[in-house]
Structure 1
Amino acid sequence: MFILRKVFGKLFVLDKLGIFSFTFVIVIFSSIVMRMLEPKTFPGWFDALWYVMTTVTTVGYGDFYPVSIAGRIYAIFIFLIGIGIAGLAIGKLVESLGANRKRREEGRLEFKGRNHFVIIGWSEKARYAISEILETHPEIYIVLIDNLPAAPFTHKHVHYIQGDPSTEKVLIQANLKEARSVLVFSDDSIQDAALTDGKTLLIVTSVERLTPHIHSTVEIKKEEHIKNFRHAKVDEFVLSHETVSRMAVRSAFSKGITDIYSQLLSHKHGENLFEVRKRKEWKTYKDAFEGLLREGATLIADGNDLGINKKLDEPIRDDARLYIICRKEVYDSLLAQA
Structure 2
Amino acid sequence: MPNRVYISFLRLPLLVRILFIALLVFLTFGISIHFLEPDTFPSIFDGIWWAIITASTVGYGDYVPHSFLGRLTALILILLGVGIVSSYFGTLAAAAVTKQDAFSEGRIPFKGTGHIIIIGWNERSRELIHKLTSVSIPQMIVLIDETLEANPVKSRFVHFIQGKGHVDETILKSDIQHAEKVLITADRGNDELQADMNSILTLLTIKGLCTQVKCIVEILTAEQVVNALRAGADEVIQSNKLTSVFMVNSLHSNGDGLLSNVVHQLQEVKLSSFMAEEKDIGKCFGEVCQRLLNQGFLLIGIKRGEDTVLNPVHSFTVEENDQLLIFK
TM-score, with length taken from structure 2: 0.78
Give structure 2 stretches of 5+ with no counterpart. Answer: 1-9
Alignment of 1:155-194 (within 5 A): 155=154, 156-190=156-190, 192-194=191-193
Shift of 1:257: 2.3
**Matched letter for residue 209 of structure 2:** L
Shift of 1:71: 4.3
Q: Distance in 2 between matches of 1:216 and 1:302?
A: 23
Matched, 1:75 2:70: no
Alignment of 1:204-283 (within 5 A): 204-254=203-253, 255=256, 256-264=258-266, 266-267=267-268, 272-273=269-270, 275=272, 283=278
Distance 1:49 1:247, change over 3 A: farther
Distance 1:112 1:295, change over 3 A: same
Q: Secondary structure at the match of 1:154?
A: coil
Number of aligned residue pairs? 302
**Matched letter for residue 85 of structure 2:** A
Distance 1:71 1:199, change over 3 A: same
Q: Distance in 2 between matches of 1:311 and 1:106?
A: 55
Shift of 1:291: 6.4
In structure 2, the partner of 1:65 is 63
In structure 2, the partner of 1:8 is none
Matched, 1:94 2:93: yes
Distance 1:32 1:262, change over 3 A: farther
Q: Distance in 2 between matches of 1:288 and 1:39?
A: 90
* Identical-residue share of aligned pairs (%): 28
**Matched letter for residue 265 of structure 2:** Q
Q: Secondary structure at the match of 1:262?
A: helix
In structure 1, the partner of 2:116 is 117
Q: Secondary structure at the match of 1:125?
A: helix
Shift of 1:227: 0.8
Higher mean displacement: 151-160 or 227-236: 151-160
Matched, 1:154 2:156: no
Distance 1:125 1:46, change over 3 A: farther
Alignment of 1:283-302 (within 5 A): 283-285=278-280, 292-300=292-300
Deviations 1:292-320 (Å, cap 9, x if unpaired)? 54443334456666468666765678xx6
Shift of 1:110: 1.3
Q: Give the alignment's Cα RMSD to 1 decimal.
A: 3.3
Higher mean displacement: 129-138 or 53-62: 53-62
In structure 1, the partner of 2:3 is none
Deviations 1:54-88 (Å, cap 9, x if unpaired)? 333333344x2234425444332321111210110
In structure 1, the partner of 2:54 is 55
Q: Distance in 2 between matches of 1:120 and 1:38?
A: 67
Q: Secondary structure at the match of 1:206?
A: helix
CA contact (8 A) 2:55 2:77 kept: yes
TM-score, with length taken from structure 1: 0.76
Q: Distance in 2 between matches of 1:248 and 1:82?
A: 74
Shift of 1:148: 2.2
CA contact (8 A) 2:146 2:162 kept: yes
CA contact (8 A) 2:105 2:151 kept: no
Alignment of 1:113-152 (within 5 A): 113-136=112-135, 138-148=137-147, 150-152=149-151
Give structure 1 stretches of 5+ with no counterpart. Answer: 1-10, 327-338
Pair member with larger Rg: 2
In structure 2, the partner of 1:325 is 327
Higher mean displacement: 254-263 or 52-61: 52-61
Q: Secondary structure at the match of 1:161?
A: strand
Distance 1:136 1:248, change over 3 A: farther
Deviations 1:123-157 (Å, cap 9, x if unpaired)? 12221121111113653222111112512513222
Q: Distance in 1 between matches of 2:251 and 2:217?
A: 28
Shift of 1:36: 5.4
Q: Distance in 1 between matches of 2:35 and 2:278?
A: 78
